[in-house]
Amino acid sequence: MTSPQVVICVLNRNNCASVIACLESVFADSYPDFRVILVDNASTDGSIEAVKRWACDGADDRSAGWGEHSGHRPLGWQEFRADSRGTFTAVGSSAPGSRPGGASLAIISTGENLGFAGGHNLGIKMALQGSAPYLMLLNSDIVVSSDFLAPLVEAIEPQGIGAAGPLVLCYDRKTTIWQAGGSIDPTTGGVRRDRAGESLSDRGSAVRPTFYLSGCAMLLKAQALREVGNLDSGYFLYYEDTDWFARARKRGWKTVLVPGSRVWHRETLLGVEAKSVYSSYYFARNRLEFVKRNFPRSLPVALGWSLRYGILNNLARRRWLELGMSLLGIWDFCRRKRGRSDRATPPDGPLPNFLVFSADYKPQPGGIAEHSHRVALGLRQAGAEVTVLAPRFKGWRDFDRGQQLPTYRVPGIRHLDLVFYFFVGLYVIFKRRIGVVYVATSNPGAPLFFLLRQIVSFRYAVTIHAHEVLYGQRTLRQKLKSAVKTLQIAMIGRADRVFAVSEFTKQLVVAAGIRSSKIFKVFNGVDLEELEAAVDTKPLLDRLGLTGKRVILTVARLDIHKGQDTVLQALPSILAKAPDAVYVIAGEGKMRPRLVALSETLGVHGHVVLTGGLARHDVIALFKACDVFAMISRIEAGSVEGFGIAFLEAGALGKPVVGGRSGGIPDAVEDGVTGLLVDPYRPEEVAEAITRILLDRQLAASLGAEGLRRARSVFTWQKTTERIIGGLNEPISP
């Protein structure tokens, strides 16, 4: 029995994270005769180049976890550029691949975003130039089973059947149905997905008729396409597949669902869902256009229903932006406006527009402020339009003036800042067309954006640094704070994603009752370029009296949990073996008077330098000048070190480190490899570790070299941003 050829057309638009996985699964199919056309709808995220590397058997981790290797690489590919008339011009090709017949992957670059119909129509045009009797349309967020194609071909072969579709399941819930065919309400134009959300059960695999199939995965007969015509590109987005099935039905073509063929649909925060506010426009406009073209007598009813849905439903849900978009869609239908609308189209970049919120942001010193700023820069470098919402700190005007990030600052007035954040945040979300909010500080970010999402649609992710979910219960004040944190955790649980900066923090979040499927571990990073820049350390060393001394350094706020007092208690023992040692404490905070008093009590004040706040270049100079970096953080009064960026900065400069074995520090310091971990409550253990490093130059050099290697390979801000984007690109869980 011969197997007729099938042309599989995969449509991609800024979906680099999943298009490779889609192609990997397609080429793993056991069907003997098919070729693939990838239509790239003017992606700006490097999709085409990534696919080329993958096709040539280049390493790419985007397909990890999506099934076995197809075994068909290297693939031969040929790239075409399509002009406005739909003419194809070959612009590049690779060597023939391992599959029979030469190039098995054609890549069409559209040059502009043509929408779902416009993009697929180019693939259809190329496919119909050949003799293949069947054409499979797939979206790039689909992963197929290894035998999905044969049952579809078998089902579509009988006379009169023009389309066949697989059972579409949810990728993250393998046995939950996303769609099993569907039906159309001819009076309102509403589309109903059959069995959506149901669990997969043994209802049999018999082919059955259906009115509607989702355009994300459908097999079409070439003869039916020639008779019915292409997808109507005037819809641009949504209803073009529904319209095609209605036209095919009028011409006598039947549509069937094939439960024996299965694919998985992957919805992510950075996909269409993150831009769902714009879909309100196209749903409202195109629903009426569909009814007008296929059920014209029902148009008055459909118009009334659309007004009711667009106004009352969005009013009831307080979705003001969706309300405006729905009404705009209805208005544009009345004006006979079709195609793409510039006022209702998501950003053209590879990512939605981001808002980065942080109550602890530059120029404020500290790890969380650094994290917030670096993530904002990283998202911008990844192609997103990024806006920052943060409080005003000393020097904020000069800092913002030197940045290329639009930054909205609010007065840091205690107990009133939430009010300022609310109204400024609402304004920014509307004005900047925000699709995703990255909340770097959950207090007050989690409750703030939970409230804002009751008004306007967006997705948001919250990052936890550990102290947000760590409880102190010793005093009445701590008990009150604990009660507030309980409410705060409930708000964190409403976020779409939760990022934890260490394994310790992740376990705290899980223990707090937040669903583990939405929690992702995202380490902090360091700016290697900034740290490795040439800095003259001599002036600072002379000014602080450190020339010729062995320098023990702590760079941190002077807070009780940071452990500067523990190092001071260890200092007499250190000086007994290394009398030229000096302990430099860089930072400001409420613990300064206590540290001064403690150093005098211990009789080591002549070997202690408290620098106060320093400019960034002076901090880097101290890192370069020190012999060992020590931060003996401990869990104290509900505070903890969630990770410890300073350890990474010291390691990136080849310095050995000593850290307290608490919180997230074990993720930042690999014990015995990049540094030494000690009991933060035992000064004698701290003294032994620091002294060992000061006296053993070979050990110090080995630890520093490994710290440098690890910082370069694991802990860069680029990798941090990639992990955040990767977490946002994971499938949406219920």
Same domain? 474 vs 602:
no
Identify whether the C-beta of residue 128 lies closer than 8 Å to the C-beta of residue 204: no
> What is the mean pLDDT of the segment spanning 108-132?
93
Residue at 722 is within a domain? no
Give me the CATH number covering residue 159: 3.90.550.60
The last residue of one of the domains, among 320, 344, 368, is 344
Say which DSSP state 61 is in.
Answer: G
Residue at 258 is within a domain? yes
> What is the mean pLDDT of the segment spanning 303-312?
84
Identify whether the C-beta of residue 258 lies closer than 8 Å to the C-beta of residue 134: no
Same domain? 161 vs 13:
yes
Return the higher-pLDDT residue of 485 and 438. 438
Same domain? 191 vs 105:
yes
pTM of the shown model: 0.75
- Count of domains forming the chain: 4
Give the separation between CA 21 and CA 138, rounded to whole angstroms: 13
Same domain? 221 vs 300:
no
Same domain? 23 vs 144:
yes
User: Is the pLDDT confidence value at 65 over 70?
Assistant: no
Identify whether the C-beta of residue 655 lies closer than 8 Å to the C-beta of residue 674: no
Same domain? 554 vs 581:
yes
> Distance between alpha carbon 116 and the CA centroid of its chain, in Å?
23
Residue at 453 is within a domain? yes
Same domain? 365 vs 329:
no
pLDDT per residue as tens digits for the range 598-650: 999 999 999 999 999 998 899 999 999 999 999 999 998 778 888 899 999 99
Same domain? 705 vs 588:
yes
Return the beta strands (E) in 148-210 as ranges. Answer: 161-170, 177-179, 182-184, 191-193, 208-209
Give the separation between CA 466 and CA 498, rounded to whole angstroms: 12
Q: How many CB atoms lie within 10 A of CB 224?
A: 24
Give the separation between CA 676 and CA 553, rounded to whole angstroms: 15
The boundaries of the domain holding residue 417 are 354-521
pLDDT of residue 237: 87
pLDDT of residue 485: 66
pLDDT per residue as tens digits for the range 575-598: 999 999 999 999 999 999 999 999
Give the confidence band of 266 by pLDDT, cuts at 50, 70, 90.
confident
Identify whether the C-beta of residue 568 lies closer than 8 Å to the C-beta of residue 604: yes
Mean pLDDT for the chain? 88
Same domain? 54 vs 115:
yes
Return the higher-pLDDT residue of 474 and 156. 156
Same domain? 549 vs 497:
no
Pairing of strands 105-109, 142-144: unpaired
Task: Return the axis-axis angle of helices 47-55 and 16-27, rounded to nearest 10°.
Answer: 30
> Under the phi-then-psi rule, with left for phi > 0, alpha for psi from -120 to 50, and beta for the rest, what region is 238?
left
Say which DSSP state 357 is in.
Answer: E
Residue at 91 is within a domain? yes
Identify whether the C-beta of residue 354 lies closer than 8 Å to the C-beta of residue 379: yes
Q: How many CB atoms lie within 10 A of CB 515?
A: 12
Give the separation between CA 446 and CA 406, rounded to whole angstroms: 22
pLDDT of residue 97: 66
pLDDT per residue as tens digits for the range 216-255: 999 999 999 999 999 999 999 899 999 999 999 999 999 9
pLDDT of residue 437: 96
User: Is the pLDDT confidence value at 681 over 90?
Assistant: yes
Tell me what percent of the residues of the chain surpass a pLDDT of 90.
63
pLDDT of residue 416: 83
Give the confidence band of 454 by pLDDT, cuts at 50, 70, 90.
confident
Same domain? 598 vs 664:
yes
Give the separation between CA 604 and CA 556, rounded to whole angstroms: 20
Tell me what percent of the residues of the chain surpass a pLDDT of 70.
91
> What is the mean pLDDT of the segment spanning 558-586?
96
Give the separation between CA 387 and CA 381, rounded to whole angstroms: 13
CA dihedral for 687, 693, 699, 702, sign (positive or negative): positive
Cis peptide before 74 (omega within 30 of 0): yes
Helices (H) and strands (E) in the chain, counts: 26, 27
> What is the mean pLDDT of the segment spanning 163-170?
95
User: Is the pLDDT confidence value at 473 over 50?
Assistant: no
Same domain? 533 vs 669:
yes
Residue at 322 is within a domain? yes
